[in-house]
Amino acid sequence: MRAKRSKKYRKIMSAYQMAFSFREPYQVLVDSHFLKTCHAFHMPLQRYLENTLHGQCKLFVTACTIDRVMADFEKEKEKIKASGGRPKGRPDFLPPPLEVPMRHCKHRNNEGEELGVIGESRCLLDLLAGQPHGNELAKNKQHYILATAEPDEREVRSKGYLDVRERARMIPGVPVVYVKRSVMILEELSGVSERSKNKAEKAKFSDGLLDTRKRKRGEGVDSDESDDELEDLLLAREALAQGPGARGQKRAKGPNPMSVKKKKVKLTGEGGQPAEGDQTVDGAKKKRTRRGGRGKRKPGMGQETSSDKAHVPEPVSSAQPEV
């Protein structure tokens, strides 16, 4: 099997597991056309089916299918006897019971009476649909997988022919495997199965994973401890949603600390008073005032006053006094 096709089949079976709860080992219902085709192309049933479905499989054949195979084999035996040959006691394409066991099927009509052995196609469809009665919807309760092949042209033209593959696509959750020219193919999800899958997904989203409704008394678990735990869980969930750190709520944001200029700390003067140039209490810087013009002198600043002269000492002369 090619890698691309194998990856595709793995995704299909994963979808059946998620949407319709399929689990290994898969239960596969094989019909007479599938057995004949696999025997003609020398295809081992177990190995090919497990490679196609990517999991362990259990093969089953119904009692109605065995009755159909043996009826066709009896006709061939009569032809062989008429030609003078010696027929075999068992068809070559029919596997032994230990390899493919028989699945017992009980078919009933609308009145509830057993019908016994019926046609192969009707038997397979009855098992795949879950044997609905009246207005019940068809549902693959046992998680069966249908394995079939293309029938003969004579059978297709016969009266009362039922296309099993086409009818199986109308039942939600039925994987179909068929053989075409020695290649085993797994069909994609049918339209009915796809719609059923989407409907189930929407229901999960609408209901939620946790049922928030208040449980009634006597419903579900009877113990009071489980009810108290559920109420505590709901209260904690509401408190978390209403808290300040609730997810999705916008909070006030401050400036980026990396882009803000840091404050400068200046030394204080004597007595704890701010030095000149420091900021005042209001935060505004003191304005420095200059007395007089820059580089100019007031009139009279260069002249000496009388008070200045009184303090100036007289120069002492070095000459000796006359005798």
Domain ranges, ordered by start, for the chain: 3-205
Share of the chain above pLDDT 90, in %: 36
| Residue 23: per-residue pLDDT | 93
Residue 314, Cα to own-chain centre: how many angstroms?
Answer: 113
| Residue 254: per-residue pLDDT | 83
Q: Which of residues 225 and 205 earns the better pLDDT score? A: 205
The residue assigned the tokens 């009569």 is: 78
304: confidence class by pLDDT, cuts 50, 70, 90: low
- Residue 226, pLDDT > 70, answer no
CB count within 10 Å of CB 277 equals 9
Q: Which of residues 296 and 187 earns the better pLDDT score? A: 187
| Residue 100: per-residue pLDDT | 92
**Domain 3-205 of CATH type 3.20.20.70:** no
The Cα 171–Cα 164 span in angstroms is 11
| Residue 148: per-residue pLDDT | 94
Max CA distance (Å), the chain: 195
293: confidence class by pLDDT, cuts 50, 70, 90: low
Structure tokens at 207: 């209901």
CB count within 10 Å of CB 43 equals 16
Q: Which of residues 270 and 80 earns the better pLDDT score? A: 80
| Residue 10: per-residue pLDDT | 95
CB count within 10 Å of CB 120 equals 21
Q: Helices 3-20 & 191-207, crossing angle to 10 degrees?
A: 50
The rounded mean pLDDT for the chain is 79
What residues form DSSP beta bridges with 144?
27
What's the whole-number mean pLDDT along residues 37-42? 93
The Cα 239–Cα 141 span in angstroms is 42
Nearest-10 Cα torsion for 72, 77, 83, 85: 140
| Residue 323: per-residue pLDDT | 43
Tens-digit pLDDT profile for residues 215-224: 555 555 555 5
Three-state SS annotation for the chain? CCHHHHHHHHHHHHHHHHHHCCCCCEEEEECHHHHHHHHHCCCCHHHHHHHHHCCCEEEEEEHHHHHHHHHHHHHHHHHHHHCCCCCCCCCCCCCCCCCCCEECCCCECCCCCECCCCCHHHHHHHHHCCCCCCCCCCCCCCCEEEEEECCCHHHHHCCCCCCHHHHHCCCCCCCEEEEECCEEEECCCCHHHHHHHHHHHHHHHHHCCCCCCCCCCCCCCCCHHHHHHHHHHHHHHHHHHHCCCCCCCCCCCCCCCCCCCCCCCCCECHHHCECCCCECCCCCECCCCCCCCCCCCCCCCCCCCHHHHHHCCCCCCCCCCCC
Verdict on whether the full-model pTM lies above 0.75? no
Q: Helices 45-53 & 32-40, crossing angle to 10 degrees?
A: 110
Cis peptide bond prior to 91, omega within 30° of 0? no
